[in-house]
């Protein structure tokens, strides 16, 4: 059990982070025209109307 604490940590690489120029940031609140976090969904406005959601609520037949 002592060896677990002695093992080195491997360097973490996030492959999902977008690549940009070395002098640029992938997402920056400093270069936007609005405050707050930028939406990763583009121009989609949330919350969506209920009729646009691809969801059907499951119903259980309890007549057994």
Residues across the chain: 64
- For the question of whether the overall pTM of this predicted structure is more than 0.85, the answer is no
* Alpha-carbon distance values, 3 to 11, 12, 31, 44, 51 (Å): 19, 21, 47, 49, 56
Quote the mean pLDDT of the chain.
70
Q: Could you report the per-residue pLDDT of 1-29, keeping only the tens digit for each?
A: 556 666 666 676 666 666 667 776 566 66
Q: Could you report the per-residue pLDDT of 23-60, keeping only the tens digit for each?
A: 765 666 666 666 666 666 667 777 888 888 888 888 88
């Amino acid at each position: 059990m002592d060896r677990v604490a002695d093992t080195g940590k491997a360097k973490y690489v996030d492959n999902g982070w977008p690549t940009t120029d070395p002098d640029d940031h992938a997402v920056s609140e400093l270069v936007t025209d609005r405050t707050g976090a930028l939406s990763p969904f583009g121009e989609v406005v949330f919350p969506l109307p209920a009729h646009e959601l691809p969801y059907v609520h499951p119903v259980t037949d309890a007549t057994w």
